[in-house]
Amino acid sequence: MRKGRTALTVAAALGVVAASSLLTACGSGGSDAVTLKLVAADYGDSEANGSQKYWDDLAAGFEKQHPNIKVDVDVHSWDVVDKKVKDMVAAGHAPDMAQIGAYADYAAAGKLYSVDKLLSVPVQADFVGQMSQAGEIKGAQYGMPFAASTRRLFYNKKLFTQAGITPPKTWADLVSDAKALKAQGVRYPFALPLGTEEAQAETLIWMLSNGGGYTDNVGSYALDDKKNVEAMSWLKNNLVTKGLTGPTAPGELNRTPAFQAFAKGQVGMLSGHPTLMNMAKSKGVSYGDVAIPGPDGTPRSTMGVTDWMMAFKQGGHPKETGAFLDYAYNKKNVLDFSRKYTVAPVTVSASNAMTSSPKDKALRPFIDELAGATYYPANKTSWPEVSAEIKKQIGSTVTPQGSAAGTLGAIQNDAAAAESAE
């Protein structure tokens, strides 16, 4: 892992000069002004730190270097941004760029520029390898990773001290700790959010921990794999059935209220991403985070999540769009965004800078885990449909009458049919 990062770091360093030359050339050539349209998602948790200001400042900096290129940015909440772009594309008014949750449908329909038509080679090479690969369809990259995270097990230090326990390393430890927390009257000894908000993430965490996952070694859906059935059955039999997951049924518990409960001191343990650090600190909750436990220790794989930047062909501005994206993905700007919104960077140069910086110490474990993480099968046009089914059905696997094998088998049948139609 270190060798790969070093090589890419050298490439990224060499790319500073090349990217600078490309940007200068683009900014000085031609007299016709071009306005690029970007639609982006909001990563802020309040009006004060919304992403609109970040993008406006970034665009202003870019425009100073490129007076003939203007960048118009519209930022929307995650609730509506994907639909906003979908409607624009359907109406024949695709933006030049979109920073949203999925790219595969647009790539499969031939609507996107491949990354090699946009970015300078050093900038393209600076993406973290696994993230870059997740943006590929049939060997060509169309999705550019933008903001990443993984999950670690957060625990409430005060509650752990009161219960006389230490952070779990194995599944058996997790059960033992949850029992001790329950005995202390903790409302949610282990919060298990399998509600529709983000059940696909929580599910994948535990499947990967047991050596399973959503796809097999050749990339085909394998939701009903034996290891996946084992993982969901274990959650049901060892945590849910024993009353260790709190008063809200996992299938009805969403990530946001679970995080809020942790910030109120009502949760002993849960799987969380880096933004939970800010929530806990703001409420004065002393927390720790460790690797998600595996059956016998270290999980067999960890989950990585990334959002996507993409560029549409319709506007016909690959040179200008590429210049802006080269600028957006330079180390300084990636660092600024990552630090502002407490997310892991998607480039090697920014990752190396953060892992070596004392002020980013809290984020380092998340960055390190991303190096070998497994991502959603975002390169499948069927993934949004399959993800929706997981969100809808997976909570039933841990109910008293639920069957992991039956539910995962049904989702797998639908997934296989959707995959064959791609």
> Is it the case that residue 59 has pLDDT exceeding 50?
yes
377: enclosing H helix or E strand? none
pLDDT in tens, 166-200: 999 999 999 999 999 999 999 999 999 999 999 99
- Give the residue-averaged pLDDT of 293-310: 93
Per-residue confidence band for 231, with pLDDT thresholds at 50, 70 and 90? very high
SS3 403: coil
> Is it the case that residue 2 has pLDDT exceeding 70?
no
pLDDT at 15: 43
- In CATH, the architecture of 152-301+382-420 is 3-Layer(aba) Sandwich (3.40)
CB 70 within 8 Å of CB 33 = yes
pLDDT in tens, 313-363: 999 999 999 999 999 999 999 999 999 999 999 999 999 999 999 999 999
Per-residue confidence band for 371, with pLDDT thresholds at 50, 70 and 90? confident
Higher pLDDT residue, 301 or 308? 308
Which numeric CATH code is attached to 2-149+305-375? 3.40.190.10
> Is it the case that residue 67 has pLDDT exceeding 60?
yes
CA dist., res. 379 & res. 385, Å (int): 13
- Give the residue-averaged pLDDT of 119-144: 94
Sign, Cα dihedral of 187, 190, 194, 200? positive
pLDDT at 26: 42
pLDDT at 30: 44
CA dist., res. 271 & res. 287, Å (int): 12
Domain boundaries, the chain: 2-149+305-375, 152-301+382-420
CA dist., res. 99 & res. 41, Å (int): 6
Per-residue confidence band for 49, with pLDDT thresholds at 50, 70 and 90? confident
Per-residue confidence band for 382, with pLDDT thresholds at 50, 70 and 90? very high
CB 364 within 8 Å of CB 299 = no
In percent, the amount of the chain with pLDDT more than 70 equals: 93
Higher pLDDT residue, 5 or 120? 120
Q: For the whole model, what pTM was predicted?
A: 0.86
Output the DSSP codes for 163-230.
HT----SBHHHHHHHHHHHHHTT-SEEE----STTTHHHHHHHHHHHTT--SB-TTS-B-TT-HHHHH
pLDDT at 299: 86
pLDDT at 126: 96
pLDDT at 300: 85
In percent, the amount of the chain with pLDDT more than 90 equals: 86
Q: Note whether 2-149+305-375 and 152-301+382-420 share their fold.
A: yes
* End-to-end C-alpha distance for the chain, whole angstroms: 34
Per-residue confidence band for 8, with pLDDT thresholds at 50, 70 and 90? very low
pLDDT at 421: 84
pLDDT at 168: 98
